[in-house]
Amino acid sequence: MKFFQYKENNKLKIGKIILHFFLLMFIVEALSSTFGIVRAGERGVLLTFGAVSGKVLGEGLYVKIPFVQEVKIIDIKIQKEQTEAEAASKDLQIVKSVIALNFHVNSDYVSKIWQEVGKDYKERIIDPAIQEAVKASTAKFTAEELITKREQVREDVKSLLKEKLSSRGIIVDEFNIINFDFSKSFNDAIEAKVVAEQQALAAKNKLEQIKFEAQQAIEAAQGKAKAIQIEGEALLNTPQIIELRWIEKWNGQVPTYWGQATPFIGIGR
């Protein structure tokens, strides 16, 4: 009899130990779920029975009711979203672009974002807005203008994104077009156009050089003709110059036969 009583007492003790253990675990879990920390650059959305309470927790330690309330963390630091977008230009060229968006969540909208969208706001809000803005802006420019007016295109897309995302609690910090990619036929056409322009420029430069050289030749001929004219007038008006030129070219030898003319006309006069 005592043996069975002893066995029964042991069962009760073990049961109490197990009960106390689970009670202790429950208390630890309750205490651990009562406190939490919101780190720097984050905000906490307080939920009561799964519903958004409207209270937003700032950085630091917070206290909540265990098993009744929970806190969802949303990052409000600047984040980067890089994606690809495909659109048609004004002249119906297919343009593939790689773009990068820097953004952050407006801390005043974290409750609304969690309530309406949840944690997938990048996929549900930002990515569709990027695609729509890129398509709308690309359609305003020809394929060539997308290259030559790249900065204007970037500003246009950025402006559209700000307009679309600000009302949803997303603030655009910066937007950049990393790359444009066109079809092979368009790239070949652009390359051919550049080559043609370079050849035309080279031909123009060659023509200008020929004109310059021709003008130089004309001016040289005019100068020479002017010099001959001046020299002729001088000889006509001053015969002594002829004698001086003859003497300058004389080699010092006297011909054996002079004839009736004298080589030193008027010398000594």
Which part of the chain is CATH 3.30.479.30?
A: 79-182
Per-residue pLDDT, 236: 64
The CB density around residue 157, as the number of other CB atoms within 10 Å, is 25
- Give the CATH fold of the 79-182 domain: Tetrahydropterin Synthase; Chain A (3.30.479)
Tell me the per-residue pLDDT of 7-61, one tens digit each, with 9 for 90 and over: 556 666 676 677 666 666 766 665 566 889 999 999 999 999 989 988 999 999 9
Q: Which parts of the chain sit beneath pLDDT 70? A: 1-13, 15-16, 19-24, 26-33, 187, 189-192, 194-197, 202-203, 231-269
Q: Which pLDDT score, from 0 to 100, does residue 139 have? A: 94
Overall pTM > 0.75: no
pLDDT score recorded for residue 267: 46
Euclidean distance between CA atoms 95 and 133, whole angstroms = 14
